[in-house]
Amino acid sequence: MATINPFLLKGYAGEQYFCDRVEESQKIINSIHNQQDLTLYAYRRLGKSALIRHVATQMEADYHFVYADIWGTSSLSEFVKELTNSIIKSNVFSQRGLGKKLQDFVKSLGTSFTIGHDGMPSIDLTYNDKSKAFKNLDEIIGFLNAQTKPVVLAIDEFQEIRKYDSEDTPIEAVLRKLTQQSNNIRFIYSGSEFHLLNDIFNSYNRPFYQSTRMIEIGPIEHDIYKEFILYHFQKGNKSIDNSLVDEILKFTYRHTFYVQSIFNHLYSLSKQPKNWTEFEKIYHPFILEKGVFYSELPNRVTPQQFVITKAFAKAGKVSSPTGNAFLDLAGLTNASSMKRAVQALLDKQILIKEGEDYRLYDVFLEHYLNFNKH
């Protein structure tokens, strides 16, 4: 049996490959036990989906867990379809009696299911009539609410519903009404675009106003992450220098996906680097391979925004983009122009604001721009 690389790049493979999040897990578990709905915020690739799955494994004996990722949905129809397929693939349908229970559920929605290449059932729903979609949404939530065990329904990238909520399609209002009627369901709304989540949950005139407990997920603490990394290298009979781990954690801002990617690569090598100089020799071709993802960036932004993006890559974290030091680095003299460009890059999710600092959202983009000077 092949040995698993302990630095996972996707999914969840058990607590032995999951680093920390003890405090966050306990907050979520306590909230669920006390009938509180939750909103989890973390920028993408920080591990919030794995955190939800980690909590689910600790509570699955007492709760049904449904995890629906609605990233990329663009309509009410797609939302209902994703939610339905997530329920079908969840532990709501146990192996015993799966067929009858599943058939009854799917039949109630007026459709049928197929078995995919992965062996899992799924349905394909398309609605021409919004009233039918809302009716099925009501039936789906009602089905979950009627389960003998309480249900946790986690909807990831929940801010997507803002993109198709309207006066004509009032999904927020309808969903909020359904949640208020569902005493057997605990809702977890997670997302990565804080301004949209904040608008949903903290705007007085919106249906979900202050209806949940808000929890922000930040980077894993340096020393805890370091201990996790050293433990797995030692367990795999591989050697890595303590100070190099420190430098890489700083190099990646402890942004989970990028930490995992680098240490996944280093773990896969027959010989690990002993210092930063050796690491750079290994990392240079690794990061240049990412060029295929970044070559189109100049076409996505204005020439000025691209220059500013490269300046952020060079500077790392920037506390005052309109300050003289960063204006000089970017070759600009007008603070107003910088302010507009920074906002545009935030809107395009090329930049993020982390506390009081701004940096490039994609850590590998920062590294690529610094390694690739053309």
pLDDT tens digits for range 192-220: 999 899 999 999 999 999 999 999 999 99
The one-letter code for the residue type at 251 is F
The one-letter code for the residue type at 357 is D
Cα torsion angle, 220, 221, 226, 231, sign: negative
The lowest-confidence range among 10-14, 111-115, 177-181 is 111-115
What is the distance between the alpha carbons of residues 345 and 183, in angstroms, rounded to a whole number? 42
Exposure b/e, 357-366, CB count within 10 A at least 16 = b: ebbbbbbbbb
Contact status, residue 198 vs residue 232, Cβ threshold 8 Å: no
21-216 under CATH 3.40.50.300, yes or no: yes
What is the distance between the alpha carbons of residues 245 and 275, in angstroms, rounded to a whole number? 9
CA 6 to chain centre: 20
Contact status, residue 335 vs residue 322, Cβ threshold 8 Å: yes
Task: State mean pLDDT over 283-289.
Answer: 95
pLDDT tens digits for range 40-86: 999 999 999 999 999 999 999 999 999 999 999 999 989 998 998 89
Contact status, residue 29 vs residue 215, Cβ threshold 8 Å: no
Tell me the C-alpha to C-alpha distance, in Å, between residue 186 and each of 5, 23, 157, 161, 238.
34, 19, 17, 19, 43
- Cβ neighbours of residue 221 closer than 8 Å, sequence gap 6 or more: 20, 254
User: Taking 80 as the threshold, does the pLDDT of residue 117 lie above it?
Assistant: no
What is the distance between the alpha carbons of residues 251 and 115, in angstroms, rounded to a whole number? 44
How does the average pLDDT of the chain come out, rounded?
91
User: Across-strand partners of 113?
Assistant: 123
What is the distance between the alpha carbons of residues 365 and 86, in angstroms, rounded to a whole number? 33
pLDDT tens digits for range 318-364: 999 999 999 999 999 999 999 999 999 999 999 999 989 999 999 99
Contact status, residue 82 vs residue 68, Cβ threshold 8 Å: yes
The one-letter code for the residue type at 140 is I
The domain 293-371: what is its CATH number? 1.10.10.10
pLDDT tens digits for range 299-316: 999 999 999 999 999 999
Taking phi over 0 as left and psi of -120 to 50 as alpha, with beta for the rest, 353 belongs to beta
User: Taking 80 as the threshold, does the pLDDT of residue 127 lie above it?
Assistant: no
Say what the pLDDT of residue 123 is: 64
Say what the pLDDT of residue 133 is: 83
Task: State mean pLDDT over 268-272.
Answer: 96
- Cβ neighbours of residue 166 closer than 8 Å, sequence gap 6 or more: none
* Residue 196 C-beta-side C-alpha neighbours within 13 Å: 20
Determine which helix (DSSP H) or strand (DSSP E) holds 155, and give its type and residue range: strand 151-156
Predicted TM-score (pTM) of the model is 0.91
Neighbours of 288 (CB within 10 A): 13
Tell me the C-alpha to C-alpha distance, in Å, between residue 357 and each of 189, 253, 315, 361.
26, 12, 11, 12
Higher pLDDT, 129 or 293: 293
The one-letter code for the residue type at 373 is K
Contact status, residue 248 vs residue 213, Cβ threshold 8 Å: no
Residues in the chain: 374
| Domain map (residue ranges) of the chain | 21-216, 222-288, 293-371
